[in-house]
Amino acid sequence: MDSGQEEREYAVRTGKVHGELCPICEYDMDHCQCIFSGNAHPDRNRRIKIVKDHLQYLSPKQIGHLVALEDWWSTSYGDEKDAEEYMKFLEFVEKEGEG
């Protein structure tokens, strides 16, 4: 079976195209639950780590979705060494953008 046929069968079976679900919460990206937290929502920190470690399995749309989530979460670092490394990374990103 060719990949196109597999894709069509998956779409018929699930109503979705591969790569249209959030890889963290597994909801349709339009209804992603990852921006919410609190007692009513499961702790997905372990899943987030696993997903970030295996970006090679994601579609471009899913990677874009993760980038948007990262922007929304606006992560900060309480650990001094992590915060220092983050600042070095931001300097690198800024420098790369200039070139």
Using CA atoms, how far apart are residues 82 and 99, in angstroms rounded to an integer?
26
pLDDT at 38: 59
pLDDT at 92: 95
pTM: 0.70
Using CA atoms, how far apart are residues 16 and 21, in angstroms rounded to an integer?
8
8 Å CB contact between 10 and 18: yes
Q: For residue 47, give both structure tokens.
A: 């899943």
β strands within the chain, DSSP E:
none
- When pLDDT is cut at 50, 70 and 90, the band that residue 5 belongs to is low
**Has residue 21 got a pLDDT over 60?**
yes
Residues 35-80: tens digit of each pLDDT: 876 566 778 889 999 999 999 999 999 999 999 999 888 888 899 9
Using CA atoms, how far apart are residues 87 and 93, in angstroms rounded to an integer?
10
User: What is the Cα 16 distance to its own chain's centre?
Assistant: 18
